[in-house]
Structure 1
Amino acid sequence: MPKALVNEIELFYDIYGTGEPLLLIAGFDSDSSSWSVLMPFLVKHYQVIRFDNRGVGQSSAPKSLYSIQQMSVDTIALLDYLEISQVHVAGHSMGGQIAQELTLAQPEKVKSLILLSSWAKGDSKFHAIIELFGDLPSKLDAVLYQTSLLPWLFSDRFYATPGVIEQIINQIRKYPFLPKPHALYHQSRAILNSDTSKRLASIYAPTLVMVGQQDIITPIKFSEHLAQGIPNAELVMLEQVGHACFIESPEIVAQKMLKFLTKH
């Protein structure tokens, strides 16, 4: 499988579909596989590029400190490696932080920006949650840790769907690339040290902000802040879905994304 050597680490990536390039940036503890249920809807219209951030999946997991800006530099280096000069960018959660930094650093590369379940600056409760998410991996078995995150990610409706959570837990048990505790700690601290709130007005790319109404990690107020701070941003709130909105309702999320992308 393809890997790019960038910034002294290896980044795993894959590319599917044809058309204008669309880059997907995953969130905390997530790798490129997290986009799998959304991919069939996107590859019909775009050349979709997925990759594993440093610390997860099949990418390198250095033991030094991480930062969101550093991960945005990784992402820019990957685009340069792939000789992609302009791209639509979609980031989920921490991936939305990375996408914001990428857009601020090299605005000429970003044709449009989609921020899913993301934020500019967290509050005290959010910081407590993320700190806990970073500390727990060294205390728990890897599969138990991943399972413990599920109630934070999904809505009441999703949990009530027969067999769905059990299927996800079985996938976790079989997955060969679960991240190491040190990498999750470093990703969590990168999140805690990131803040774009005073720079949002400098994001001029057409922007879609999307959030689930049952998101208990990054509540609606975070997305409202993004949409108010980014010039001419659109805000879409999705009913009955949680933080992992594109896993719960991939068809609806894809429809919203594609409608936005076709305008830009």
Structure 2
Amino acid sequence: MTTPRPYKILINGVVQSFHIAGSGPVCLVHAGGPGFDWNYIRLPLLEQTMTVVYIEPIGTGDSGLLSDGDYSMPRYAYHAHKIAEHIGTEKPYFLGHSHGGFVGLQYAIDYPNEIGGLILHSSAPCMVPELGFEQTRQIKLYAERWPDRPEAQDAFQAWMDLGSGAARDSESFLKLLGRLLPAFFGNYWNLPEEFKEWRDNLNFYLIPRNPHTWDAREVLNTIDTPTLILVGEHDFNCGPRWAAEMNEKMPNSQLYTFEAGGHMSHIESPEEFAKAVSDFVSQPFQTRNW
């Protein structure tokens, strides 16, 4: 597996780091969180057919911090757009995972004529209390689905601990994440051997961010960018409810569900994931007739 080439640029005085690997159509890839290190979303199979630009989100890794704490969706989208401008690509694809998908939707809203296609991987159209309530409901169902697995019961408790403010810094968050991790997969006990290395290299940056909400549901019908919505059947975090709503409201979308999958289908089903994305990129997209 080739190591992605690292790059850094300045955007309004803030260091923005990104990494490039592969060849073919350009695809910006934005990690979730916000706060996850970009390496967890590495997509080596996709690099075989696309030029993958892994964005190292501001506030993580070698990218800089924002002095005003305004880590808003328009700000993240702006930084992604400046990367696209810098590398000279006019209409890149944008693949966002979870919170990165929020950024992708914002990118399509803010730069509608400058995006070739949108890939929303286990994402949602809002970041409001309603999302949190649904996550809690779904992770309770997850624990009920695995009543004899102590890891599943502890994952539910880890979610409750996270909600009560138990994560005070990056280190304490990573400890909670280690307990929560089983819930991010359809079947945590049936993962490939490579998963251990992926798990051991997970990193997260918990930094001060101005509190804010974000909701794109009222404008989804205005996003006519060709869009692929990917969701795991058992994703507790950004599950089928949100995928179905986006697919219903977005005029040029298509939905792909990973049977019995979770929130990390790119790890749980890498070949299926890469094929779904490659098929989407290679097909002539037909506008829906309503």
| Range class of TM-score, shorter chain | 0.7 to 0.9
Match of 2:206 among 174, 181, 190: 181
Q: In the alignment, what sits opposite 1:33?
A: 39
What is the 5 A alignment of 1:198-209?
Answer: 198-209=218-229
| Number of residue pairs the alignment of both structures matches | 251
Q: Which residue of 2 aligns with 1:263?
A: 283
Q: Hey, which bits of structure 1, 4+ residues long, moved more than 6 A?
A: none
TM superposition shift of 1:245: 1.4
1:159 aligned partner, one-letter code: W
Shift, 1:4, TM fit: 1.5
Conserved? CA contact 1:17–1:47, under 8 Å: yes
The residue aligned with 2:65 is 61
Shift of 1:77: 1.3
Could you say which residue in structure 2 is the equivalent of 1:153?
184
Alpha carbons 2:102, 2:125 under 8 Å: kept: yes
The offset of 1:8, in angstroms, is: 2.9
> Could you list the per-position Cα deviations for residues 70-122 of structure 1 after superposition, in whole angstroms to 9, with x for gaps in the alignment?
11111111111222211111111111110011111111111111111111125
One-letter amino acid matched to 2:132? H
- Percentage identity across aligned positions? 23
Q: Specify whether residues 169 and 206 from structure 1 end up closer, same or farther in structure 2 by C-alpha distance, changes over 3 A only.
A: closer
TM-score computed with the length of structure 1 as normaliser: 0.85
Letter in 2 for 1:208: L
Change in Cα spacing, 1:251 to 1:85, as seen in structure 2 (3 Å) is same
Q: Shift in Å at residue 163 of structure 1?
A: 5.8
Is there any run of 5+ residues in structure 2 with no aligned partner, and where? Answer: 1-5, 137-158, 285-290
Contact in 2 for aligned 1:7/1:77 (Cα 8 Å): no
CA distance in 2, matches of 1:108, 1:120: 20
1:44 aligns with 2:48: yes
Aligned residues of 1:31 and 1:51 also touching (Cα < 8 A): no
CA separation of 1:195 and 1:142: change in aligned 2, threshold 3 A:
closer
Q: Alignment RMSD, CA only?
A: 2.5
* TM-score normalized by the length of structure 2: 0.78
Q: 1:205 to 1:122 in 2, by over 3 A?
A: same
Q: 1:260 to 1:147 in 2, by over 3 A?
A: same
Q: Secondary structure at the match of 1:137?
A: coil
Q: Is the 8 A contact 2:96 2:103 kept in 1?
A: yes
Question: 1:100 — aligned with what?
Answer: 105
d(CA) in 1 for partners of 2:87, 2:227: 24
Secondary structure of residue in 1 paired with 2:19: strand
Deviates more, 1:26-35 or 1:129-138: 129-138
Distance in structure 2 (CA, Å) of the matches to 1:236 and 1:2: 33
Query: Residues 77 and 141 (structure 1 numbering): CA distance in 2 closer, same or farther, change over 3 Å?
Result: same
> Please, which runs of 5 or more residues in structure 1 have no aligned partner?
173-177
CA contact (8 A) 2:118 2:227 kept: yes
1:216 equivalent to 2:216? Answer no
